[in-house]
Every structure is written in C-alpha cells, then in structure tokens.
Structure 1
Amino acid sequence: MKNSIPITLFLFFTILQLAGQTSDKIAFGPYIQQMSTKDATICWSTLEGEMTISGIEGEKDTIREYKQHKIHLANLKPDTEYVYDVLNDGSEEGKGKLRTYPDKSIPFNFVAIGDTRSRNNVHKRIIEQVGKLNPRFIVNSGDLVANGLSMRDWESFFKINKDFMTNTPYYPVLGNHEKDSPYYYDFFDLPNNERYYYFTVGDALFVVLDSEGLRTTIPAFTSEGMEDAYWEESGIEYLKKQKEWLEQVLELNREAGFVFIFQHTPLYSVKKSRVEESKKVRAFWGDIFSRYGVQVFLNGHDHHYHHAYDNGVHFITSAGAGAPLYDIDAVQPETLNYKKIEHFINVEVEQDEAVLHVFDIEGNEFDTIRVERRTIK
C-alpha cells in the first residue's frame, strides 16, 4: 500500500455563498472524474435556488437549480492514495479518498453496469454489491436516469451513488434516455469531447462511444414512412466522424494489452423488436472491432444479460441495473449465454488475461468470461 498523502482544497467562502439564500453545504458529491496517473478532477454541486411551475388545474411542482464546482488536481504520484476535502471546515461532508491509476501493468478490477434508470431500489442494491468489490472505477453504459432533462431523476441518481462516487471514478455513456441533456455535461467532467472519449489504466484501453449521435426529436409532421430515414440521416455525418476518431484511437493504442469498448446500443440483440436495428448498427461499424483486435464490446439498452461472440470479439449486453427487464425472444447464432436478470459485471484485469465475473443482484456469479491478453502485431 502506498503512503496516504492528504490534499486540502482551499476554497474562498465566496465560491459557496449562494446569493445569501442557501447554506454552503454540498448537494451532490463530492465525486471523482478525469482520473489518470498524475491528475484527477473533484466535482460537487451546491443548491443555487429553485423555481415553481403550476398547471391550470392547480398542480404545482418545485424544481431546484444547482451550481457545479470542480477543481483539477495535478502533479500527483501514480498508484497513490490521497485524501481530499472540498469544504475544509472540519466536517466529513466534503471529504473523500482517491487513488491515482498505475503507470505500469498491475492487476486491477473495474465494474460495468447499464441502464440504472428508473427502479431506484434495484439501482441502490446493485451499487451496494459493487461497493464491496472496491473497483478502481465503474462504467455505466447509458440510461443512467429515466429522463436526462428531469432534475428529480438526477437528484435520485446522486443520492444513490453518493458514498460510492466520493471514492471511485465514475464514467458514463450517453444513452437515449439522457436526451443529450445539458445536465449530463454539467455534472460530468469527461475526457476528449465528453460525448465519446477514451482513457487508459496500465496497458488497458477503454473507449466510450456515443451511439445516439446528434439526434433531435422527430417533428410532428414527419410521416411514419419517413421516421426511419429521419433517424438514420439526421446524424450520419457525426457518426462517421466518430468512426474515424475511433480508428485513429485504436491505431495509436495498438500496443494496449486489453481493449474494452462501451456504447449504449447493442450490435447483437436478442429482443425481437430490436434485431433489425442492431443489424444496422453492426453494418455501420463493419469489421473495425475485429480488425483492431478489440476483445470486449459492452453495451446496455436491452434490459437483460446477453453474451455473444463473433470473429474474436465478445459482445456483452449488460443492462440489468435498474430499468424494467425485457424478455428474450430472438436468440442469435452468435449467442453464448443470456438471462433475464438484474446484474453487474466485475472485470479483473491480470497480467495475462482479463476475467469477467457476472453477478446477480444478490452477489451470486452466474457467468464467467476469460479473455486473453492481446499479442502485439
């Protein structure tokens, strides 16, 4: 264990003064973003104000406004634990711990979950199980909340994840339920352009893709026959640009021992109504994943567990962390395993292999996948 080095984040009281109308206590956080071997970002939110909206029948709702804060930490030491305090007032509220990533290949574990969305009781139990494994970080493959434009949904999300995110970096993926909300970009501080990005830990490469693209709501005047064309063509140039970026990233990181790709929509669906959509997604990406030796592709969107294997790539749907579960009614030729179940995945990255342990909500392992380290070509 490395020595623990305390970091005190001195903040002017004016940062946390909220126009004289609220206290200086933290609403969300603190939580860790942008972790690397020598850098990290600490984020938190304070209550700025609130508004009310009333309907014609007298119903009334209160919506809160939050102010986001973040501090970038630099010149840290690799694989070292630090203590931070964003309030610096002697209370426990602003304190947390972080551990920088190693600058060499050493064993570590991370967790993958998906579609935490609407059943908060399931989401909470999953996070409690995940916390027991003490992962270096977590990746959520999209649909973090039911409606990304609803502040109430984000309030529930941060309440459930408060203790976990204080000490563990959290990487989100854009899903369709995020609705490209400004709240998503306010709350998270992510690498690259934040929509799609990558990071490394040891000699493992992690790439997060945006399967949703720059899509907007279909206009009311759009006919049923034009709806598919509208979705496919409205953001195609954006997706093509992302594909070019991905190819560059995979080429630059061709010496990585392990490559994990994350996006929201699946390339192989076992939900009958989405099989054709997954074929279109697969056709768009072509052979890029197998050509560059990607070992694992993790996605959400279909609310169950599904493991397919094709041309050297494990395609895994993990979307059982809170959204209502879907039936499985279209098993594919590439399918190896599937189950309608709440679950999460703990990935242990070792020197010569990565082992994916798939657990149910009770912590029982029901599938295990072994992936060998890549051979540099």
Structure 2
Amino acid sequence: MKRILSISLLLLFNLGQSRAQSEKKIAFGPYIQQMGTKDAAVCWSTLVGSMTVTDPSGKTDTIREYKQHAIYFQGLKPDTKYSYDVLNDGSNEGKGTLTTFPDKIVPFNFVVIGDTRTRNNVHKKIIEQVTKRDPRFIVNSGDLVSNGWSMKNWESFFEINHDFMKNTPYYPVLGNHEKDSPYYYNFFDLPNNERYYYFTVGDALFIVLDSEGHRTSIPAYTTEGNEDAYWEQSGIEYLKKEKEWLEQVLKLNHQAGFVFIFQHQTLYSVKKSRVEESKKVRAFWGDIFSRYGVQVFLNGHDHHYHHAYDKGVHFITSAGGGAPLYDIDAPQPETVNYKKIEHFINVEVKLDEAVLHVIDIDGNEFDTIKVKRRDVK
C-alpha cells in the first residue's frame, strides 16, 4: 500500500494585484513535472502584470504576464503518494498530490491524447474521462493549443487541465501549433533538452521526439518553386542530430521490456493531402524503429484515429482531443483500423503485455491493441 506523506512549502507572494485579483494567488497550477522514483517537480504561475495592444481600428486587447515558479523535490520514496501545498495558507488553492514512479517492475497505466488545441468543450470532456482512469501520467502528442504565441490559448489550456494536472504528471510533445513559442518552454519543465527527451517507468521506456525542429519562416524573397526545399532544409541538421540521439537512447535502453515513442507528425497518414508529407517523414527515420524493436509509435497531427502496422511496429495516430476532426480519404496498405472520432488512449502496461484501450469521448472503448513484452536480455 502506498504511504501518504505531507509536504508543506511556505512561500510568500507579493503580486501587486488589486484586492479581487489577490484573492487568488496562483494563476496556473500547481501542476506536476519531472516525475521520477525519488524526485519530482511542482510548478505554478502567478500574475505579475498586463499590457494592452490597440489595432488601427481602435480595438484594444489585454495580454497578461505571468511569472513561473518551480520547486524540486529529492529524496522521496518510490511508489509513494505525497500531498503538497505550495501556499501553506490554510486554503486549498496550492494543494495537490503526487505519486512517485515505482523502482520495481510493476503494472501501471498511462494515457495518450493529442491535438487538444480548439473546441475547449471537447477537450474538457476528454480530460473528465481521462481522470476516471487515474493514470500515472499523461502524454499529449502535440498541438496542445491553437497558437503557442497566444497567452489566451494557454490560459484556457491550464483552466481545463487544472484539477487533473495538480495530481498527475503531464508530458507534452512539440507540435506545429506550438510554433516553438517561449511560452511552451516556460510553462513545462521537461527532461533532457526539453525539445526531445526520454524517461522510464518500471519496465517501459518513453521517448518524446520533436518533429518540428528549428525551422524558420520562409523569407519573402523565396520563390514559390523553392518554398518546399527551403522549409525542408532549414532544419535538417537539427533533425539529423536528434536522430543520432534517438539511436543512442535506444542502444542504451536495450533491456526495456516496452518501448513507446511519441512525436507530432504522422508516419502513415490516411488524409490524402498529407500522404506524401508522411512518406517524407517516414523516409527520414528509415528503419530505426523496427531495427531497435520499438513496439508502439504514437503521433498526432491528423485529427482522427488511425492504426497502422508495419514490420512489427504499431503506428497509431491519436489526435481526437479537441481540434476539428478530419475526414479519412486515403487508407494505406499498412492500415489496420481507423475512425473519425474524438478519443484518447488508456494504456495498461502489465508484466507480459501492454494493452491499448482506445476510448471515445463518452467513455466507450472502440478499439483494443495488445502488445507483447520484448524478449530482451
């Protein structure tokens, strides 16, 4: 049985807000990041100011500024539930719980969602269903918000996820709609270089890739026929370095019983207008996933559910978390199943197999995928 311990943090805030604003000391959070067997991070944001921007028509918009805070815990006990309070002022505002990862190979579950960027009502309902599964953590396969440079988008994101994130670690993937915004890196505290990273839980290895890279805007002087080449080549050296890193991580963790890889762009698209793009992404990665025995590759980007299988790897598009759904008009030879539907995936990692339960917005399971543990030494 997990033990419940209490952590209290005494923090003083001087926010310089009005009386009404100061009644709420925390703007976003608290929420959990960087979970381990003996360590964890708790983050939150406070409002520090605002500015206005007025367009030529006289319309004024207010943009708020936030300050980020983080506390790092060390010396915790594995597989133990802790309560924390970042305010310690008698209120519930700064309270949450965190459960450290196990240091032994034991069953657990986690959840995958994707493309939560618009239709906040759908995003909210998905998170309500996810919360019922009580996952150890969640991975969002990218496009968390519609525009990563819009603070209002992030305000909506944290409002929807507040109750969930204060008790459950949240691992994001960079999508094209994050737009490489500094807000993303300010709000999330992630392993490695934060753009691509990995972590482990029990017998499973989790690798998050960045499919977007350091790409710049196409200059105005670039002619139409050269736009694609400019876009593809602008970040190729970065992606090559990431590929070398991935191979090293897979070699280092060759004894993992389960390997899950996440990135935003799909390798097998069933959306006709994106089939050629997905082939280019697939060609870049080559046979690295099958060669190292990766069992499951999860992505977003195409707003529906799609399951493909090729050379021992399950390629799953899970992007039904809130963005407008896409029609499926180009099933591929590798396609196993597909559906235009809002959904998430609850993954049960057992001792000898992992079971992926694909669940719709109303809590109904409409697909199930079983993956055997790798035979490793």
Scaled by the length of structure 1, the TM-score of the pair is 0.98
| Aligned residue type for 1:134 | D
Task: Give 3-state SS (helix, strand or coil) of 1:247's partner.
Answer: helix
Aligned to 1:354: 354
Q: Give the match's secondary structure for 2:354.
A: strand
Asked if 1:296 is matched to 2:301, the reply is no
> Is the 2:79–2:102 Cα contact (8 Å) retained in structure 1?
yes
Amino acid at match of 1:18: L
Q: Distance in 2 between matches of 1:372 and 1:38?
A: 29
- Paired residue for 1:17, among 5, 14, 17? 14
Identify the residue that residue 80 of structure 1 maps to in structure 2. Answer: 80
The structural deviation recorded for 1:221 is: 2.1
**Count of aligned residue pairs for this structure pair:** 374
Over residues 156-178 of structure 1, what are the superposed CA-to-partner deviations in whole Å (9 max), with x where a residue is unaligned?
00000000000000000000000
Structure 1 residue 20 displacement after superposition: 6.0
List aligned pairs for 1:167-316, cutoff 5 A: 167-316=167-316
Matches of 2:248 and 2:264 in 1, distance apart? 21
CA distance in 1 between partners of 2:351 and 2:222 (Å): 53
CA–CA distance in 1 between the matches of 2:290 and 2:155? 40
Give deviations 1:293-339, integer Å, cap 9, x for gaps: 00000000000000000000000000000000000011000000000
| Partners of 2:343 and 2:220 in 1: CA distance | 38
Alignment of 1:69 onto 2:62 = no
Question: For 1:128-163, what per-residue CA distance to the aligned partner results, in whole angstroms no more than 9, with x for missing partners?
Answer: 000000000000000000000000000000000000
SS of the residue aligned with 2:237?
A: helix
Give RMSD over aligned pairs: 0.9
Aligned position for 1:107? 107
Partners of 1:141 and 1:115 in 2: CA distance: 7
User: Per the alignment, in what secondary structure is the counterpart of residue 307 of structure 1?
Assistant: strand
Q: Which amino acid aligns with 2:145?
A: V
Aligned residue for 1:64, secondary structure, equals strand
Partner Cα distance (2:308, 2:265) in 1 = 14
* Within-5 A mapping of 1:52-63: 52-63=52-63
Output one character per residue of 1:323-361: Cα deviation in whole Å (capped at 9) or x when no partner: 000000110000000000000000000000000000010
> In structure 1, what is the Cα distance between the partners aligned to 2:258 and 2:10?
39
Counterpart of 1:326 in structure 2 is 326
| Inter-partner Cα distance in structure 2 for 1:118 and 1:219 | 29
Partner of 2:345: 345
Secondary structure (helix, strand or coil) at the match of 2:200 reads: strand
The 3-state SS of whatever aligns with 1:231 is helix
Structure 1 residue matching 2:166: 3-state secondary structure: helix
Q: Secondary structure at the match of 1:243?
A: helix
Secondary structure in structure 1 of the residue aligned to 2:101? coil
8 Å CA contact retained: 2:145, 2:157: yes
After superposition, give the CA deviation of every residue in 1:230-265 in whole Å (9 maximum; x if it has no partner): 111000000000000000000000000000000000
- The 2-side partners of 1:3 and 1:87 are apart by 23
Alpha-carbon distance in structure 1 between the residues aligned to 2:274 and 2:366: 25
Q: Distance in 1 between matches of 2:64 and 2:332?
A: 46
Q: What amino acid is aligned across from residue 199 of structure 1 in structure 2?
A: F
Matched ranges for 1:26-175 at <5 A? 26-175=26-175
Instruction: List alignment gaps of at least 5 residues for structure 1.
Output: none
Secondary structure class of the residue paired with 1:91: coil
The answer as to 2:8 corresponding to 1:8 is yes
- CA shift at 1:18, angstroms? 2.2
CA distance in 2, matches of 1:88, 1:221: 57
Secondary structure in structure 1 of the residue aligned to 2:129 = helix
Cα deviation per residue 1:250-295 (whole Å; 9 max; x = unaligned)?
Answer: 0000000000000000100000110011000000000000010000
Task: State the Cα distance separating 1:19 from its structure 2 match.
Answer: 4.3
Q: Which amino acid aligns with 1:279?
A: K
| Residue identity in the other structure for 1:223 | T
After TM superposition, which residue ranges in structure 1, 4 or more long, deviate above 2 angstroms? 18-24
Residues in 2 aligned to 1:64 and 1:168: alpha-carbon distance in whole angstroms:
26
- The alignment's TM-score, normalised by the length of structure 2, stands at 0.98
| CA-CA distance at 1:225 after TM superposition | 0.8
Using the TM superposition, name which of 129-138 and 211-220 deviates more.
211-220
Separation (CA, whole Å) in 2 of partners of 1:129 and 1:203: 26
Offset of residue 220 of structure 1: 2.1
Is the CA contact (8 Å cut-off) linking 2:17 and 2:48 kept in structure 1?
Answer: no
